[in-house]
Homo-oligomer: A and B are copies of this chain.
Amino acid sequence: MCIERVFLGGRLVDNLNIFWHNGKVEYKDRCKHLKQKGMVLWFTGLSGSGKSTIAVQVEKELYKKGFVTYLLDGDNVRYGLNSNLGFSNEDREENIRRIAEVSALFKDAGLITLVSFISPFRKSREFAKQKIGSITFVEIYVKADVETCAKRDPKGLYKKVKKGVIKNFTGISSPYEEPENPDILLDTRELSVEEAANKVIKFVLNKQR
Q: Which positions in A face B, CB cutoff 8 Å?
A: 1-3, 14, 16, 19, 23-25, 29-30, 33-35, 56, 59-60, 63-72, 76-77, 80-81, 84, 94, 98, 101-102, 104-106, 108-111, 131
Contacts and interface: CB of A to CB of B under 8 A. Distances in A.
Contact of A71 (B25, B98, B104): B25
Given A34-B68, A102-B105, A106-B109, A25 B76 contact: no
Given A24-B71, A29-B63, A80-B104, 8 more contacts: A1-B65, A24-B60, A25-B71, A30-B68, A70-B105, A76-B108, A77-B105, A102-B102
- Most B CB atoms within 10 A — which of A1, A23, A71, A76? A1
Contacts of A1: 35, 65-67
Given A25-B71, A68-B33, A71-B25, A76 B63 contact: no
A175 to B, nearest CB: 24
Contacts of A34: 68
Contacts of A84: 94
A105 B72 contact: yes
Contact of A59 (B14, B25, B110, B111): B25
Contacts of A23: 56, 60
A66 B56 CA distance: 28
